[in-house]
Structure 1
Amino acid sequence: MAKDEFVGKKSAAAGGWGALKSCGRRLMEARRPLSGARTMLKANQPDGFDCPGCAWGDPEHGSSFEFCENGVKAVAWEATRKRVTPDFFATHSVTELRGWSDYELEQQGRLTDPLRYDPQTDRYHAIDWDTAFAEIGAALKALDHPDRAEFYTSGRASNEAAFLYQMFVRLYGTNNFPDCSNMCHEASGVALIDAIGIGKGTVQLEDFEKADAVFVFGQNPGTNHPRMLADLRKATARGCNVVVFNTLKEKGLMRFADPQNKVEMLLGGSKPTSTDYFQPRLGGDMAAVRGMAKVVFAADDAALAAGNPSVLDHAFIGQHCDGLDDWRAVVEATGWPQIEEQSGLSRAQIERAAAVYLAADSVIATWAMGITQHRHSVQTIREIANLLFLRGNIGREGAGLCPVRGHSNVQGDRTMGIDEKAPAALIDAMERELGVALPRAEGHNVIAAIGAMLGGSARAFIGLGGNFARATPDSALIAKALMGLDLTVNVATKLNHSHLLPGRKSYILPCLGRTEIDRNSQGTRQIVTVEDSMSMVHGSGGINLPASKALKSEVAIIAGIAQATVGNGVVDWQALGDDNDKVRDLIGRVLPGFADFNTRVRQPRGFWLRNPAAEREWRTPTGRANFAAHPLPQQTEWQRVQGQAGRFVLQTFRSHDQYNTTIYALDDRYRGVYGERRVVFMNADDMRALGAETGDRVDLTGPDEDGVERLAEDFRLVPYDMPQGCVAGYYPELNLLVPHGAYGEKSFTPTLKSVIVTIRRR
């Protein structure tokens, strides 16, 4: 490919014919187009069908499938006719497969049989389920302490699987739960628990229909949660201001062509998804919000001086909040020069955003990983919450805080108890139910688990879905750490790189996908449940035949490992593994809000998990919503490299044809990149300063203060509308540049959006 052949036309808007064509290609490439299309058309089942594409709320609250490009890709990816049978491994060694790309591995199709690694032949071989469970159980029991094992969870796991998993692990004796939330929205949970007493958003989908203004921070819904685009477009169409703060100009945050609108598709039209678009420097969002707060306080002073009513909601603040005076003092002590330099925005731009906020009676603030993956992410989210508190924008219609999760059940996993901090109320309830003592000491999050593996204290890794080796920072170090373990086990639907880094004993356990029929021993079709970003819990029942008769559900696999490891003395694992209804009955006895679970989740709308903060009930130590008086960072990463030739701040993100570490194809239609993933997006002026042109090849060097060399070789440059000094590229290819020791304060989330790199032309 010539140096500029991979760069082509960008979409004029998100959605539209490009989305439909992309969906058609994905269905055809799956070699099961009729089955994939049938899944789309029949997704509206009596028990509901959960789109595995993202955690954005469903307009029918879980009982229908709304068209979305990501959803079609996710379903087609799972519904493929391609199969990875034991014969595949007879042809390909693990060492050979390790050299394949993520895309090439996943294109081979669905795993069909449980597998065990043979180090003598460097191949996986088929094994029966009972033997696999027995050997895994024996290996776990052979460890000298339960804390030697790490139990990872992906957000694709259902509520039933997550609950059973955490119960098994705690009965085994540890709280080591490195989880996908540790790498994405942990900062949201930490910040919101301190601010409002619960680590979840306070809005429901209907609130977007009633808001006067929506502030969108650090997210790209066109690629990550496309159904949100329809809600933003509807909001702007009815006169709501949608204000975007995002470092890159993203198509989905500007215009959206609705593929379900026949007239619009015929005429090639589109409509705006935002009214204002600001591009802060990486790490500059907190300073931007701080500037907005300065404007609000100044407007309040001016109103009072003129004898007009205050612009603040003093009734809300007086009745519900603590700490305003301390925060206001910090805001007023922060000068405009610092705000402008850190944010990269002018005072006039920030004043415009503040004017929108002041003019709106009801405001929603929504954010994603562009906010959560920095050193000061917790402080930034507290600043956003502070701003909303000023005018009472929480606990009423059309207003509130809205972190947007990625995977379809990442929020549900935490609700079900996947939490290394072992919440006391959960442990108390489980001890009452089970009649035994459970561990209460804090376990390992992802960063701690990496440290334990690198240090040798962790000896086993169990992965419930996901691709741990590629999702985590410091990819090269993680690979060596996994291969040094005594035991690695991965529950999965398709082959990925984590499976190719076997420990001394290693197993791949293939599971049913979300689209597939799951029958128990009585032949009854089963459902699983998930919780979306709006705290709606709904059921999901597959309609496709399983990819292999040998597949088991995640619930059955967990129960099998648990029975072989901790036995049936406390829990009847065989009964739970066979009947999801029994798991839900158990959940209903243990977790608040899940009473009568089986009946309520089968209602067409599912049900909403009550959020106390949404009703202005603050379960914080003060009993109130808390302002936070954090100073701005002394320096952001951008400020540290300012003026240094060849030094930039890197953010990693998804291409349009991927979902987390899953690569559907090699295109990024909205950014105009085709057939290539080894690219770096850069401001055109920065490219000229390097003496570079589109397609020129560069090497990137990451931080090396810890003595580790981090080098990403042979990437191509692409000019893009973004602030100078900031660059961007895809993960997982660039995760090797992110030190595992670089993480957010209080959140321990890897700083994947603020990595200092050096770029040199080849």
Structure 2
Amino acid sequence: MTSTNSQSGIDVISRKDDHDGAVDRGHGVIHLVPTEQDVELRQKAVKTKAAGVEAVLKSFQYGIGEAGLLRGTLPMLQLNQAQGFDCPGCAWPESDTHRSSFEFCENGAKAVAHESDKRRATAQFFRDHSISEMSRHSDYWLEQQGRLTEPMFLDEGASHYQPIRWEDAFQLIAEELNNLDSPDQAAFYTSGKATNEAAFAYQIFARGYGTNNLPDCSNMCHEASGRALTKMMGMGKGTVKLDDFEKAELVFVVGQNPGTNHPRQLSALQTSKRNGAKIISVNPLPEAGLMGFMNPQQVSGMLGISTQLTDLFLQVKINGDIPLFKGIIKQLVEWEDERGDVIDRQFTEEFTEGMADLLANVREASWDQIVSRSGIPKNQIVQAAKWASETSRIIVCWCLGVTQHRNGTQNVQELLNLLLIRGAIGKPGAGACCVRGHSNVQGDRTMGVWEKPPQSLLDQIEKVFGFHPPQERGFDSQRTAKAMHEGKVKVLVSLGGNFLLALPDTQFTAEAIQNTDLTVRIGTKLNRADLLTGRRSLILPCLGRTEADVRPAANGKPARPQFTSTENSMGVVQSSQGKFAPASKDLMNEVAILCKMAHAVLGDRTGIDWQAWADDYDQIREGIAAVIPGCENYNQLVRQKGGFYLPNGPRKRNFTTPSGKAVMTVNPIPKDEIKPGQFAMTTVRSHDQFNTTIYGLDDRYRGLYNVRQIVMMNEADIAEQGLKPEQAIDVESHFEGETRKVCGFRVVAYPIPRQCVAMYFPEANPLIPMNSTDEFSNCPSFKHTIVSVRASGTKH
């Protein structure tokens, strides 16, 4: 299955009986996304409650199945503990005062089992499987081959990876990088699972080499959140702490599916609910975890007794968030105009600016347009506004359903406007909760992984390390793909992740990657980015979070265990130390890999002893303390039980904007571009998935099993299109005269608004245009693509 990309002159349609869309650049035919063939789709009723005993059983079933009885269970007892290791899954925080003995969720258990896998992808595996043959299998199959055990090299024109010594791998990277015409012909991509020490060393390496080309996964997810928060509050992070959920009286959960993506958040929402808070869920799809939660750490939850979380479900149309929240604010302003007690005037006059323009905008807004574009009846909008008018202890949580739009930054800004007019910032039980998806994506940015670094960071790097870092803005993820496609970037180094499938427009991204001279990926398991590569490719296997990182005894010194650190969604930095035997004696921590790579490439050009950094992470942390604001005495603070909080000005009503005040914004209602017969398509993750990693083929809460190439559509729309449930259909996207197409997907009836459809990420990525991005953050629009559908085999 592939996409059409008229921009690059390619017009390819996926079929089951040929290789259209596969690519052959000397390594054999490589398939981008193999078509599911002869697979039975099973569908059950959509669930209305999440977790409970089934989640516990699934956690241990997955862990024992992949890692065995001991390795599949013992690491879970160390997961998210004060002296254990940080979950490699999401970034939801732990309590400051109490941690249970089972501080993990089903997805965390899957992430640990993914690392603890007893299976091995050894050199013999690569001898037995060409990259062409591997590409015929699904991404789930690739994950199931087990842990990588030693460095592997794919030479130009070769069909199989071969083992390579670490020293030779580093030397090859050094030769490629040092022979480029410009440092800006290289890009250094970062996954959100990289630790603080790895992220800091990585960005110092890249800048010491001479480039700010530091794309990262944040560019594709919460970049819009960071841009909105920085503009309006002076800091690109959320403002709440976990204990604010105990004090909140109203919680909005917007564009988010915590039951699948952040299950431990459900416990916080349950606490809010039991303390009397009301919860409003805003989403195009009903999500089980937001309807009912069976807490698996409580007897009632294990008995199947659930807490009803959602008091009001606002089933918004795709990209209907701005009109919805504009409607809520409009109703508040109308009440303010009537009785004068709704807007927190004391807060707004002392701490904000821009309110006059905001009030004028919402007064002029049309209720008919608000209702039509949001898809929410006015009486429900009024109900949400009534609850918001009755308290200022309001938390607004959001995730990618809000950010991954062409107006993603403005979506977030409208949510923040509601908090500001109610004075719901910088007080207990109130604030902005930007729910990060990957375990250390927020920490990566704190540590300086950013293609557009502030001048203060560059100046401090020069002051501390003595070299002059590059001043020009680098490439983000989308611009890196375009630069590779144009031949401007020749080497791509990936610290984890799956650059191929994390980006939109899979065909375009594939061509871009194959246009490079060298691709290097550091990771624990195979993914499709290891099969569709540059002219040459390296796989550098690393330790997982669960595994012990011990420097052997030498020169009279005893063996020295190393640890790393991470930052969660609420700005807490804490240590993480694996305890279990590595999957292979040839593995290194990602920190050591990067430092040894930097030593091979840079030598002593930066004045940094990279080998010393590789051997002792305390030395890296001394660098962090000297460069990163709020990290002074980092080595001491991170060793504290539970870690420490980074500074957060807006949490104390200290807004570091140019004016020193929080800035209200005017955000226009997006134009309705959906024509008759077209649909707004959003991508979603399944329950057996974390980002691009596929743990299994079931989406238990949505009642969909065994198949991922599906289109969820309203039953009335299916009938109106002359289709039948489970029928094979083709989907075509439309953007600025370009079309892209995938074929052979199956349509299923699902409770989603009319003229809206949902498809799985990354299978739907070929439909999403590379240039369809947010104006302000350049975040791709994974959550809003215009599509049309036809029965397979009929003409579009």
| TM-score scaled by length of structure 2 | 0.92
Change (3 A) 1:489 1:188: same
Which secondary structure state, in structure 2, belongs to the residue aligned with residue 724 of structure 1?
Answer: coil
Residue aligning to 2:526: 495
Say which SS state the counterpart of residue 30 (structure 1) adopts.
helix
Aligned residue number for residue 400 of structure 1: 431
Sort the Cα spacing of 1:231 and 1:63 in 2 relative to 1 into closer, same or farther, 3 A.
closer
* Of 280, 284, 291, the match for 2:327: 291
**CA distance in 1 between partners of 2:376 and 2:506 (Å):** 34
The 10-residue stretch of structure 1 (155-164 or 713-722) with the greater mean CA deviation from structure 2? 713-722
Q: Aligned residue for 1:223?
A: 260
> Which residue does 2:336 correspond to in 1?
300
Offset, 1:31: 4.1
Q: Which amino acid aligns with 2:227?
A: V
Which amino acid in 2 is paired with 1:387? L
User: Are 2:281 and 2:314, in contact at CA under 8 Å, matched by a contact in 1?
Assistant: yes
Please give the secondary structure, in 1, of the residue aligned with 2:172.
helix
Can you list the C-alpha shifts for 1:527-576, whole angstroms capped at 9, x where unaligned?
Answer: 11110110011111112110000001111110111111111241100000
Q: Which amino acid aligns with 1:269?
A: I
Listed as ranges, the matches of 1:635-714 within 5 Å are 635=671, 639-642=672-675, 644-645=676-677, 647-703=678-734, 705=736, 707=738, 709-714=739-744
In 2, Cα distance between equivalents of 1:4 and 1:587? 52
Q: How does 1:532-543 map to 2 (within 5 A)?
A: 532-543=568-579
Matched to 1:737, the amino acid is L
Equivalent residue, structure 2, for 1:726: 756
Check whether the contact 1:48–1:63 (CA below 8 A) recurs between aligned residues.
Answer: no
Q: Within the alignment, does 1:387 sit opposite 2:418 as a pair?
A: yes
Taking the aligned partners of 2:96 and 2:471, their CA distance within structure 1 comes to 39
2:103 paired residue number: 66
* C-alpha contact 1:62 1:539 (8 A) present in aligned 2: no
SS class of match (2:704): coil
1:203 equivalent among 231, 236, 240: 240
User: Which moved further from structure 2: 406-415 or 439-448?
Assistant: 439-448
Q: In the alignment, is the contact (CA less than 8 A) between 2:732 and 2:789 conserved in 1?
A: yes
CA deviations on 1:725-756 (whole Å, 9 max, x unpaired) are 00001111110100101001101011000001
Gap change, CA 1:565 and 1:2, over 3 Å in 2:
closer
Equivalence for 1:307: none
State the alpha-carbon separation in 2 of the partners of residues 521 and 272 from structure 1.
53
1:328 to 338, 353, 359: 359
Aligned counterpart, 1:32: 68
Match among 42, 62, 77 for residue 114 of structure 2? 77
The equivalent of 1:276 in structure 2 is 312
Deviates more, 1:91-100 or 1:175-184: 91-100
Structure 1 counterpart SS, 2:550: coil
Aligned to 1:740, the other structure's residue is in SS state coil
1:629 equivalent to 2:666? Answer yes
1:152 and 2:183 matched: no
In 2, the alpha carbon distance for the partners of 1:319 and 1:28 equals 57
**Per-residue displacement from partner, 1:140-183 (whole Å, max 9, x unpaired)?**
01110011111100000000000000000001001011110000
**8 Å Cα contact 1:655/1:730 also seen in 2:** yes
Alignment of 1:49-60 (within 5 A): 49-60=85-96
Most deviating of 557-566 and 43-52: 43-52
Does the alignment pair 1:483 with 2:514? yes
Trace 1:421-440 onto structure 2 (pairs within 5 A): 421-440=452-471
Counterpart for residue 23 of structure 2 = none
1:214 equivalent to 2:251? Answer yes
Match of 2:538 among 481, 485, 507: 507
Q: In structure 1, what is the equivalent of residue 789 of structure 2?
A: 759
Q: What is the number of residues matched between the two proteins?
A: 749
Q: State the partner residue of 2:164.
A: 127
Contact 1:658–1:664 (Cα < 8 Å) also in 2: yes
1:554 aligned residue: 590
Residue 72 of structure 1 aligns to a residue whose secondary structure is helix
Structure 2 CA distance for aligned equivalents of residues 61 and 169 of structure 1: 39
**Matched-pair identity in %:** 45
1:245 maps onto 2:282 in alignment: yes
Output one character per residue of 1:72-123: Cα deviation in whole Å (capped at 9) or x when no partner.
Answer: 0100111011001111111111111122211000100000001110334411
For 1:726 and 1:632, the matched residues in 2 are separated by: 18
Paired amino acid for 2:765: N
- Within 1, Cα distance between the matches of 2:685 and 2:601? 38
Q: Which amino acid aligns with 1:516?
A: E
Asked if the contact 2:688/2:697 (under 8 Å) is kept, the reply is yes
**Does the aligned pair in 2 maintain the 1:702–1:756 contact within 8 Å?**
yes
1:703 positional shift = 2.4
Between stretches 42-51 and 574-583, larger displacement belongs to: 42-51
Q: What whole-Å deviation, never above 9, does each CA across 1:688-732 have from its counterpart, x for those lacking one?
A: 11222321111111226465x522111111211111000001111
Residue among 158, 163, 166 paired with 2:203: 166
Residue 438 of structure 1 deviates from its aligned partner by 0.7
User: 2: CA distance between counterparts of 1:538 and 1:63?
Assistant: 14
CA distance in 2, matches of 1:424, 1:706: 40
Correspondence for 1:468:
499
Q: SS at the partner of 2:734?
A: coil
Aligned to 1:737: 767
Q: What per-residue deviation string (whole Å, max 9, x for no partner) do you get for residues 29-71 of structure 1?
A: 2042321201112446553321112011112479775130110
Correspondences of 1:444-459 after superposition (within 5 Å): 444-459=475-490
Distance 2:414 2:772 in 1: 22
CA distance in 1, matches of 2:247, 2:300: 26
Residue type of the alignment partner of 1:629: V
Q: What SS class does the counterpart of residue 168 from structure 1 fall into? A: helix
Q: Is the 8 A contact 2:220 2:779 kept in 1?
A: yes
Match of 2:648 in 1: 611
Q: For structure 2, which runs of at least 5 residues remain unmatched after alignment?
A: 1-36, 554-558
| Aligned counterparts of 1:3 and 1:574: Cα–Cα separation in 2 | 51
What's the CA shift for 1:2?
8.6
Q: Does the Cα contact within 8 Å between 2:41 and 2:704 map onto a contact in 1?
A: no
Paired with 1:722 and 1:387, the residues of 2 have a C-alpha distance of: 26
User: d(CA) in 2 for partners of 1:10 and 1:685?
Assistant: 17
Gaps of 5+ in 1: 305-309
How far apart in 2 are the matches of 1:373 and 1:107? 30
For the residue of structure 1 that corresponds to 2:680, the secondary structure is strand
